[in-house]
Chains A and B, each alone.
Chain A
Amino acid sequence: MNLQTNYLGLNLRTPLVVSASPLSEELDDIKRMEDAGAAAVVLYSLFEEQLKQDRFELEHHLTHGTESYAEALTYFPEPTEFHLGPEGYLNHIRKAKEHVNIPIIASLNGDSMGGWTTYAKEMQQAGADALELNIYHIPADPMLTGAQVEQTYLEILESVKSQVMIPVSVKLSPYFSSLANMAQRLDLAGANGLVLFNRFYQPDIHLDSLEVRPNVILSTPQALRLPMRWIAILYGKLRADLAATSGIHTAHDVVKMLMVGASATMLCAVLYRHGIEYIRTLEREVIDWMDEHEYESVAQMLGSMSQQHCANPIEFERAQYVKALHSFKPAHA
Chain B
Amino acid sequence: MNRTQITIDANEAVAEIAYRLNEVIAIYPITPSSPMGEWADAWAAAGKPNLWGTTPAVVEMQSEGGAAGVVHGALQTGSLTTTFTASQGLLLMIPNMYKIAGELTPAVIHVAARALAAQGLSIFGDHSDVMATRATGFALLCSNSVQEAMDFAVVAQTATLNSRIPFLHFFDGFRTSHEVNKIELLTDDDLRAMIDLSKVLEHRARALSPDHPVIRGTAQNPDVYFQARESVNRFYNACAQVVQDAMDQFASLTGRQYHAFEYHGAANAERVIVMMGSGAEAAHETVDYLNTQGAKVGVLKVRLYRPFDAKRFMEAMPATTKSVAVLDRTKEPGSAGEPLYLDCVTALHEGLSSGWGELQAMPKVVGGRYGLASHEFTPAMIKAVFDNLAQSKPKNHFTVGIHDDVTHSSLPYDAAFSIEPDSVVRAMFYGLGSDGTVGANKNSIKIIGENTNQFAQGYFVYDSKKSGAITVSHLRFGPQPIRSTYLISQASFVACHQPIFLERYDMLSPLKPGGTFLLNAPWSAAEVWPHLPRAMQEQLIEKQIRFFVIDANKVARASGMGNRVNTVMQVCFFALSGALPHDEAIAAIKSAIKKSYSSKGDEIVAMNLRAVDQTLEQLFAVNVPAQVTSQLLLPPPVASTAPPFVRDVLGKMIATRGDELPVSALPCDGTYPSGTAKWEKRNLAEEIPVWDSQVCIQCGKCAMVCPHSVIRIKVYDPKHLAEAPPTFKSCAAKDREWNGLKYTIQVAPEDCTGCGICVDICPAKNKSQTRLKAINMTPQPPLRESERDNWNFFLNVPEVDRRLLKISSIRQQQLQEPLFEFSGACAGCGETPYIKLVTQLFGDRTIIANATGCSSIYGGNLPTTPYTRNADGRGPAWANSLFEDNAEFGLGFRVSLDKQTEFAAQLLTRLAPAIGGELSQEILKADQRDEAGIHEQRERVAALKYKLSKLDSEEAQQLLPIADLFVRKSVWIIGGDGWAYDIGFGGLDHVLASGRNVNVLVLDTEVYSNTGGQMSKATPRGAVAKFAAGGKPAAKKDLGLIAMTYGNVYVARVAMGARDEHTLKAFLEAEAYDGPSLIIAYSHCIAHGINMTTGMQNQKAAVDSGQWLLYRFNPEREQHGENPLQLDSRAPKIPLEQYLYSENRFKMLTKSNPEEARRLLKQAQLDVHDRWHFYEYLAARKGELPKEESEGIDG
Contacts and interface: CB of A to CB of B under 8 A. Distances in A.
B603 A76 contact: no
Interface string B430-469: 0011101111000000000000000000001011011001
Interface in A33-70: 51-52, 54-59, 61-70
Contact of A73 (B466, B857, B1012, B1154): B1012
A210 to B, nearest CB: 4
Contact of B1013 (A52, A57, A72, A80): A72
Interface string A239-265: 000000000000000000000000000
Contacts of A211: 770
A79 B605 CA distance: 17
A68 B1144 contact: no
A315 interface: no
B991 to A, nearest CB: 27
Nearest to A57: B1144
A70 B1145 contact: no
Contacts of B1025: 76-77
Interface string B836-876: 00000000000000000000010000000000000000000
Contact of B45 (A61, A71, A79): A79
Contact of A58 (B466, B857, B1151): B1151
Nearest to B473: A67
A55 B601 contact: yes
Q: For the side of the interface on A, what is the size category? A: 35 or more
Interface string B158-194: 0000000000000000100010000000000000000
A70 B156 CA distance: 28
Contacts of B765: 210
A36 B224 CA distance: 81
A72 B1152 contact: no
B974 interface: no
Contacts, number: 144
Interface in B1110-1167: 1144-1145, 1147-1148, 1151-1154
A328 interface: no
A98 interface: no
A64 B603 contact: no
Contacts of A80: 46, 599
A71 B769 CA distance: 43
A82 interface: yes
B599 A77 contact: no
A67 B433 contact: yes
Q: For the side of the interface on B, what is the size category? A: 35 or more
Contacts of A72: 466, 1009-1013, 1087
Contacts of A63: 436, 439, 564
B424 interface: no
A contacts with B: majority SS: loop
A62 B123 CA distance: 24
Nearest to B439: A67
A211 B760 CA distance: 13
Contacts of B924: none
Contacts of A201: none
Given A68-B433, A69-B469, A59 B1012 contact: no
A217 interface: no
A75 interface: yes
Interface in A66-104: 66-85, 88
A211 B771 CA distance: 9
B1134 to A, nearest CB: 13
A317 B269 CA distance: 108
Residue of A52, A56, A66, A75 contacting most chain B CB atoms (<10 Å): A75
B1089 A83 contact: no
Residue of A75, A76, A77, A83 contacting most chain B CB atoms (<10 Å): A77
Residue of A62, A69, A83 contacting most chain B CB atoms (<10 Å): A69
Contacts of A84: 599-601, 1151
B753 interface: no
Nearest to B41: A77
A76 B1151 CA distance: 13
Contacts of A65: 433-434, 826, 1086
B603 A56 contact: yes
Given A68-B434, A70-B31, A70-B123, A79 B1152 contact: yes
Interface in B1020-1035: 1024-1029
A71 B1024 contact: no
A268 B1142 CA distance: 27
A58 B462 contact: no
B439 A77 contact: no
B1087 A75 contact: yes
B592 interface: no
B831 to A, nearest CB: 14
B38 interface: yes
B42 A78 contact: yes
Interface of B: 31-32, 34-35, 38, 41-42, 45-46, 123, 174, 178, 432-434, 436-439, 460, 462-463, 465-466, 469, 471, 564, 597, 599-601, 603-604, 765, 770, 826, 857, 1009-1013, 1024-1029, 1086-1087, 1089-1090, 1144-1145, 1147-1148, 1151-1154
Given A58-B600, A83-B1152, 15 more contacts: A52-B601, A56-B604, A58-B1144, A62-B600, A63-B564, A64-B434, A66-B439, A70-B174, A70-B462, A71-B1010, A73-B438, A74-B1013, A76-B1025, A79-B42, A210-B765
Interface of A: 51-52, 54-59, 61-85, 88, 210-211
28 contacts: A55-B603, A55-B604, A58-B601, A58-B1144, A59-B601, A62-B1144, A64-B1086, A65-B434, A67-B436, A68-B432, A68-B466, A69-B462, A69-B466, A70-B32, A71-B31, A71-B1010, A72-B1010, A75-B1087, A77-B42, A77-B1024, A80-B46, A81-B599, A82-B601, A83-B1151, A84-B600, A210-B765, A210-B770, A211-B770
Among all A-B residue pairs, the 8 with the closest Cβ atoms: A68-B433, A55-B601, A72-B1012, A61-B1089, A61-B1144, A67-B438, A77-B1029, A70-B462
